[in-house]
């Protein structure tokens, strides 16, 4: 379970987040929305320990992230699969090697890594592109490779920051379906988006941020 307990993040005189309280249960899928500058990215950065709160605390499975320091940060981040808007694929590696990167970091054996990569590729419908150069893939395919990389190590949490920002509505719906599929097998999913069509078709909890505060929470 992820819990934000009166979390604040202040940059100079500017509050990016103000006394934010929110909770995401294990196995839940939630959407986080809000205008640019509302605090979505700050919230995700705090959750991934790319930044630290100036007030309050974040609890993950009851453990305060403030206690996670040094080498433990890497281990903590491996509990999360992260999908970025701009994919962040490595274009000097093929599809298979991109997806295998988290497994390499986590120290999986090559045999197990191969099995998992193929399973993840199968799940996102790109098994035939295992040895393909990411440069030759479409935007939607690249994003699906990024999703496969995010889930290949079977993380507890899947975090997506504007994952459909560069995709057309049909591809966006396809990506959202993938997230739902992962959620159905127990992965806790948090998607930050301001894609209204995505929000409209979602049946999951919607949290709206404005000026660093949670304005509204409910089913979209």
Binding site for another protein (CB under 8 A): 48-51, 71, 74-80, 82, 88, 90, 92, 101-102, 104-110, 112, 116, 119, 123, 149, 151, 154-156, 181-182, 185-187
Nearest approach in angstroms of CB 87 to another protein is 10
Considering the complex, what minimum distance in angstroms separates the CB of residue 196 from another protein? 28
Nearer to another protein, 105 or 215 (CB): 105
- Chain length of the chain: 220
Rounded CA gap, 82 and 48, in Å? Answer: 9
- What does the alpha-carbon distance between residue 125 and residue 121 come to, in Å, rounded to a whole number? 6
Nearer to another protein, 50 or 217 (CB): 50
| In contact, 208 and 215? CB cutoff 8 Å | yes
Do 133 and 63 contact (CB within 8 A), yes or no? Answer: no
CB of 204 to another protein, least distance (A): 18
- Give the gyration radius of the chain's Cα atoms: 17
Q: Which CB atom, from 57 or from 213, has the smaller least distance to another protein?
A: 57
Q: Which is nearer to another protein, 14 or 71 (CB)?
A: 71
Q: What is the rounded distance in angstroms from the CA atom of residue 186 to the CA atom of residue 157?
A: 9
Give me the least distance between CB of 194 and another protein, in Å please.
22
């Amino acid at each position: 379970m992820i819990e934000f307990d009166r979390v604040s993040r202040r940059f100079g005189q500017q509050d990016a987040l103000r006394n934010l309280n929110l909770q995401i249960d294990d196995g839940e899928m939630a959407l986080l929305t809000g205008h640019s500058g509302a605090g979505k990215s700050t919230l995700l950065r705090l959750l991934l320990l790319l930044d630290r709160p100036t007030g309050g605390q974040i609890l993950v499975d009851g453990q305060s992230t403030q206690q996670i320091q040094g080498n433990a940060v890497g281990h903590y981040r491996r509990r999360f699969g992260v999908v970025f808007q701009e994919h962040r694929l490595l274009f000097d590696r093929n599809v298979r090697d991109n997806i295998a990167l988290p497994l390499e970091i986590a120290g999986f054996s090559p045999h197990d890594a191969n099995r998992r990569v193929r399973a993840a590729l199968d799940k996102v419908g790109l098994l035939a592109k295992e040895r393909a150069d990411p440069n030759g893939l479409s935007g939607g395919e690249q994003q699906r490779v990024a999703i496969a990389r995010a889930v290949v190590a079977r993380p507890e949490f899947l975090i997506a920051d504007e994952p459909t920002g560069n995709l057309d509505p049909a591809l966006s719906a396809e990506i959202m379906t993938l997230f739902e599929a992962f959620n159905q097998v127990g992965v806790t999913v948090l998607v930050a988006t301001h894609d209204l069509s995505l929000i409209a078709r979602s049946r999951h909890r919607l949290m709206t941020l404005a000026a660093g505060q949670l304005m509204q929470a409910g089913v979209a």
